[in-house]
Structure 1
Amino acid sequence: MRVEMWSDLICPWCYLGSTRLHRALQQFPDADFDVVYRSYRLNPSLSREPELDMADYMTRRYHLTRERAELGHRRLEALAAREGLHYRMDLMRPVDTLDGHRVLQLARSRGVQVAVKQRFMAGVLGEGAVISDHDTLVRLAAEAGLDPDDTRKTLASDAFLADVERDEADGRRHRLQSVPFFVFGGTDRLADAASVDELARAVRRNLS
């Protein structure tokens, strides 16, 4: 069964959603899943340069006070810790994620997309990795099993740009309002960072 997840690389809820998804899938050891990460940039107008920290970004985008943004980040860090994830929201730098998504498309063509996706998210959310930086993309992707030369060639071209744009167009056709956004078996949709139980129920519906 195909499981598709639209997400962005600077979305804290997407790493939670991905982690919960794989825990849900582990409840079905006899099933065969094709997990596909689909590209969706939350803010394509962001610069490739890390101009703001995450708290400043939240204050400008959502008109919050910095104190409220930082409180929300501490709550996210605590929630992530309960899932076994390490978040450092104070280190995170929101940037344009187009090149990261192109590398993820390359990773899918090489059969290592899940591993590369998880490594990218851990880097962005836990280590302050700037996911628009090409050297960083090459390093993180290599740590997850993607050939560095393949990554460099992709980044030096416009390879997989059309794939990213197709994914984003498909997301709009699903009337996607936020990410993460899941589609099970091509039609069964589930929005937001659902719980492991909710994700498992969606899987079960589509396996029966």
Structure 2
Amino acid sequence: MSDAKPRLVIDMVADPVCPWCYVGKRSLDRVLMAMSFSHEVVVRYRPYQLAPDTPEEGVDRKAYIEKKFPDSAHRSALADALRDAATGAGLDLNIAGPTKLINSLNALRVLRWSHLDGVQIEFVEALFSAYWQQGRDISQTDELSRIAAASGMDGADVRARLETDEDCNDVRDEVAAFRSGGVDGVPTFIINESLGFAGALPPDQLLENIRSIATETGQA
């Protein structure tokens, strides 16, 4: 009788410029520790763009948010909810840190390459931290090559590849596929490539949802 753990694949669809995705990522970190005792868990971070039309030079993030949410009371309530969710996930999030809303396409290209290099977990955390904790412009080649190198990738190779259009269309196509498949908000979690749900849930609720779907898909 085999005592091998059942395999569980978790795809987290995310945009690095979305603060709720950072919260969801940290919640997932806690879930993975709990699930590791009962499952062989494979995590993959998949690309999404909430604002794909953001210009390459980026836009003022504060002005963008004020335009999207013109009511100041509503903006304040959203910020409070985000802070509370971040705290619940064990994340000290500086939501006012990034001054620029950037186009995340380049970051998502390196995200793709980090998976192929086997260091995606390290890269994702470094990427979120660079943007949300340090306010760095993660659309820029120099910044991305430094983050990649710190994550175990070849920084010079990443820099050279970013100077080309390698995987630009593939990333756009993947984002479009998720959108056409019904993903209209992130983070979205897809379990065993079949069932999913959206939202930066608290760790205990996220764990409950994942376990429920694992049971439903025969991987309990």
Match of 1:104 in 2: 111
Match of 2:161 in 1: 154
| Mapping for residues 136-155 of structure 1, pairs under 5 Å | 136-155=143-162
Any idea what the Cα deviations from partners look like across 1:53-99, whole Å, max 9, x if unmatched?
x332111123333x753564355345424433232222312110000
2: CA distance between counterparts of 1:156 and 1:112?
A: 21
2: CA distance between counterparts of 1:134 and 1:70?
A: 34
2: CA distance between counterparts of 1:110 and 1:199?
A: 28
Question: Which one has a bigger Cα radius of gyration?
Answer: 2
Is the Cα–Cα contact under 8 Å of residues 58 and 64 in structure 1 kept in the other structure? no
2: CA distance between counterparts of 1:174 and 1:5?
A: 14
Verify: 1:195 aligned to 2:202, yes or no.
Answer: yes
Verify: 1:44 aligned to 2:55, yes or no.
Answer: no
Match of 1:175 in 2: 182
Superposition CA RMSD, Å: 1.9
Any idea what the Cα deviations from partners look like across 1:97-124, whole Å, max 9, x if unmatched?
0000001001011011111111111111
Match of 1:83 in 2: 89
Any idea what the Cα deviations from partners look like across 1:138-196, whole Å, max 9, x if unmatched?
11222222210221122011122233123212212331121001100111211111221
2: CA distance between counterparts of 1:84 and 1:5?
A: 19
Match of 2:4 in 1: none
Partner of residue 131 from structure 1, selected from 135, 138, 141:
138
| Mapping for residues 39-78 of structure 1, pairs under 5 Å | 39-52=47-60, 54-65=61-72, 69=75, 72-73=78-79, 75-78=81-84
1: CA distance between counterparts of 2:88 and 2:81?
A: 11
Is the Cα–Cα contact under 8 Å of residues 21 and 186 in structure 2 kept in the other structure? yes
2: CA distance between counterparts of 1:192 and 1:172?
A: 15
TM-score (norm 1): 0.89
Structure 1, unmatched stretches of 5+, are none
Match of 1:32 in 2: 40
The verdict on how the C-alpha distance between 1:34 and 1:182 changes in structure 2, with shifts beyond 3 A counting, is same
Structure 2, unmatched stretches of 5+, are 1-7
Q: How many equivalent residue pairs?
A: 206
Aligned-partner residue type, residue 204 of structure 2: D
**For structure 1, which segment, 41-50 or 160-169, has the greater mean C-alpha deviation from structure 2 after superposition?**
160-169
Is the Cα–Cα contact under 8 Å of residues 35 and 41 in structure 2 kept in the other structure? no
1: CA distance between counterparts of 2:16 and 2:84?
A: 20
Is the Cα–Cα contact under 8 Å of residues 89 and 203 in structure 2 kept in the other structure? no
**For structure 1, which segment, 123-132 or 86-95, has the greater mean C-alpha deviation from structure 2 after superposition?**
86-95
% identity of equivalent residues:
27
Aligned-partner residue type, residue 147 of structure 2: L
2: CA distance between counterparts of 1:136 and 1:71?
A: 32
